[in-house]
Chain A
Amino acid sequence: MASFTAGGGGANNNPNKSLEVNPAPGDSVSSLSFSPKANHLVATSWDNQVRCWEIQPGGQCQAKASISHDQPVLCSAWKDDGTTVFSGGCDKQIKMWPLLSGGQPMVLSGHEAPVKELAWIPQMNLLVSGSWDKTLRYWDVRQPQPAHVQQLPERCYALSLSYPLMVVGTADRNVIVFNMQNPQAEFKRIVSPLKLQTRCLAAFPDQQGFLVGSIEGRVGVHHVDDGQQGKNFTFKCHRDGNDIYAVNALNFHPVHHTFATSGSDGGFNFWDKDSKQRLKAFNKCPSPITCSTFNQDGSIFAYAVCYDWSKGAEKHNPSTAKTNIFLHSVQESEVKGKPRVNKK
């Protein structure tokens, strides 16, 4: 992977010398997702656009296509065959975009509030969407009506799927665990181990538990089985002196099952939960990192640097704000877990 420093003077926008994706979206990026089959990257944005790039072997990024929503887009998901992209946003709609065939997107309507989360369930051939209308909806994408509507106690803020485990984080700090083999019933409802608002979730690749990140610069490692409660713990991250930043994204590495955290402080780190160690700390960007993701084989880590509204509208100057998407070429030493060594 080629890498270079982003052009322009002033503060270093690219302190980790990652590869920059061009052209950059016109407003903040709300989600990033890679195709399961190829290095196609999709980004949704507050400028109402959904964009797709192809990451070529040499590291160049070629813009492929884009579609629009009527209002800001909040989330995206790929179908497992890599042919279709789903996107949802503030217009309360889900768009099904047959990217490779180049057809017009199909609209799935039904939510009564903005769609915050999307996930494709290949084993069931269903799309699940989480919304601020306090519902989950399961869609058979061949039909315009949802196959099932699951009521939630509060607005959906986060969702993560590792079949058959699915976890949903809600506004009241609940984490609801679903077993996809029985999606109509809550398997368990857990109060978040963190005392402030839930911001992101990540289900373990081995389906034993989940990570929960909050606005208080802390991540909880929680197991679903009651017998494994002794292995639960939380750790602090994304802090700078006395300032505590929000954890904006949690992503598991697809191969090594270590994970990345990205935060409002503009930094991202790689961690190994089994040895309770930080594997790699990176330099902080001048703006928050709003979202991040690994590609299908874990060789690329994409992250978006832009404003996340963590200090409201008054602290944001749209005329000077920058939005960048960067690609970090992942070194195996950065993400491979290692047993804790007893220091002599």
Chain B
Amino acid sequence: MMSSSSSWSTPSFGLARESSSLLFTPGLVQHMGPNPSSSWSTPAHPVSDSPTFSFPTPFFCEPAKGSRVYAYTKTADDLPHKHTLSISAMPAYISKSHEELRHEDYQRGDKGGDGLQKIMVNSAPVPPMPMLSSVGAPVNMINSSQPAFSLKSKTNFSTPFSPAATADQQSAQLQFSTQNHYYTSNPFWPAPIGLVRPCSSTGLQSSTPGLNCTGITSFPFLPTKQPSVGTQSSTLFPTTFVHPSVELQKNASTHCASSQTAPCTTHGGILFGTAANTVSLTTSSTEPTTSSLGPTSCPATRHGDAPSTGFACQENVFSNSAAYTSTINADVPTNTIDLLLPNNIRLVRLRFSSTNDGNGSVASEVHCHHDAKTSETPISLCIYPGENQELIIKSMVQPAKSHTGKQSSPTGGHPDDQSGRSKVCNSAAGLPSSGPGENQKGNSSAGHKTPKSPLAAPRCEAIAESVLPRLYSADYYTVPSIVELAVGERDEPGYCSHVKGFTVGRHGYGSVKFDGETDWRRLDIGSIVEFNEREIIVYRDVSNTPPVGQELNKPAEVTLLNVKCVEQKNGLQFTEGPAVDRYKEILVQWTKDHGAEFVSFDAAKGEWKFRVKNFNM
């Protein structure tokens, strides 16, 4: 601004010297300082002073107020490529807040809008002015022309280039003044008058209007006069320079707007993308958490809202803990069931005893059971040395399984079948025994089957997975054995579905032989048949019992071992005599009362046989 002011003052003094009027010098200086519009009013100065003085006032206020004094731009931050967007970060507005600037704009009636609109509005009134001036009276001409100049000045002020433009216009105007004087003294004066017919009507009046007419009409003649006068060509150049400035301003404005708009759009897209990803991550991290904590609703509720990764990790830990808790919880019901069932069974057994027999019988039976345990070893050792092997096995097995359950009792008997079946049973019991046992038995069939085992082993696994029954306990056995079933199934597919006289037993406890043909395919024998001390359980869980006639719920002959008549006083076992007869009668009655059929009782062997129709009990 200082340099601009200096350049303004020089032409001003020059003009003053030309006018040779000392009286006007201070006025010109005063008017030139604040705004360039004074230069436009110079030709009119001799006519009127008051219009000139009225112009400076409004222009003084404009540069100091509002957010348009300097165009908005982003402010570079200390960090490279970073920009602070707030207008209050600009050096020009650093001491003004958003609200202060807005207040200033609102006070001036400026509530926003594109700067270009201002320029358009300002330029609109200009075109009609020349027509008015050419038609109106001399006084009207002066008044109407000055407002037009004022509007133009505003236009200049609204651009960043206004100081330069103002200086250029100042120079242009001065040169126009010079040119006017030249025309006045020029001998070619008659020619221009002749060409401009509209001016001729006012030519008859004072010389001042004439000068104005000449000034206005001189524009069209510039190209024509250019070659002949050096001054004219220098005048033309500044005029041309002004317009490109305006265009540059417009382009700059457009560029600025577009450059600011595009990045915002791009960033906005990125932001939304980021936001979407964030939401997605949160959602995905929440769902697995909820799913993993499904078994426990309370932890899910507590942790479901935690969005942070750290919490997610903790949730996983908690989930593992919950799973472990679930495992513990799963064990408790099982233990509870185990603890409860034996008690129930024991009670049932006792109740049956009291119902079936008199007081003496009850006492006798109870004592028999008790004493039988005490005397097992010594009696067997004394009387039946051959059974030492079995006794050893029993003593090893009993501590492992101490369950005591109720017994099933048949009634009636078939003495003729007794010895034959007994042999079969003993033979089966001997199979898994040690070498001496086998040698002692001299069972030829066992010897015959032994060589086949190694050959059948590889195929056994494949076949077993498909149809063979399952039996995993070592102390249980079947007749035919699982290996024999596998061989049979290989030779004759479907063999397992119709096995005759299939038997399941437990060494030292008893066995059960099913009548007719039995379909054993895919049965889990270990979970169906259970032998305890003087007790057999088939289909422990009533809910798993199939209808009568299916699977193992069919007629069968049960053999229970370790059933002996023992003198309660001295622990001696009776193998014959009145005591044995009485004991046998008790067994007969027991089996009859339980819907079974008594078959036989061998006091010497401690073997009790009875038949059942099914295992629904």
Chain A residues with CB under 8 Å of chain B are 27, 30, 46, 71-72, 74, 90, 114, 116, 132, 155, 157, 171, 196-197, 199, 215-217, 240-246, 264, 281, 283-284, 307-318, 321, 333, 338, 340-344
Contacts and interface: CB of A to CB of B under 8 A. Distances in A.
B310 A314 contact: no
A196 B82 CA distance: 14
Q: Could you tell me the dominant secondary structure of chain A's interface residues?
A: loop
B98 interface: yes
Contacts of B74: 243
Interface residues of B, number: 50
Contact of B86 (A215, A281, A313): A215
A313 B270 contact: no
B72 A312 contact: yes
Interface stretch (B88-96, B202-210, B237-245): B88-96
A246 B267 contact: no
Contact of B272 (A30, A116, A283, A318): A283
Nearest to A154: B95
A240 B85 CA distance: 11
B572 interface: no
B267 A46 contact: no
A344 B111 CA distance: 55
Interface of B: 66-68, 71-72, 74, 77, 81-89, 94-95, 97-103, 105-106, 110-115, 263-264, 267-268, 270-272, 275, 278, 305, 307-311, 313-314
A309 B101 contact: yes
Given A157-B97, A171-B95, A317-B112, A312 B272 contact: no
A310 B98 contact: yes
Closest 8 CB pairs of A and B: A341-B310, A316-B112, A312-B67, A215-B86, A309-B102, A312-B72, A333-B305, A246-B86
B275 to A, nearest CB: 5
Contacts of A281: 275, 278
Nearest to B101: A309
A283 B86 CA distance: 21
B113 A197 contact: no
Nearest to B97: A157
Contact of A72 (B97, B98, B106, B271): B106
A245 B71 contact: no
Contacts of A72: 102-103, 106
Given A72-B106, A216-B84, A310-B87, A30 B308 contact: no
Contacts of A284: 268, 271-272, 275
B124 to A, nearest CB: 19
A80 B268 CA distance: 41
Contact of A171 (B82, B97, B307): B97
Contacts of B82: 242, 244
A246 B103 CA distance: 19
Contacts of B94: 197
B101 A312 contact: yes
A149 to B, nearest CB: 21
A315 B268 CA distance: 18
B98 A74 contact: no
A215 B88 contact: yes
A27 B102 CA distance: 12
B71 A314 contact: yes
Contact of A316 (B71, B113, B278, B305): B113
B99 to A, nearest CB: 6
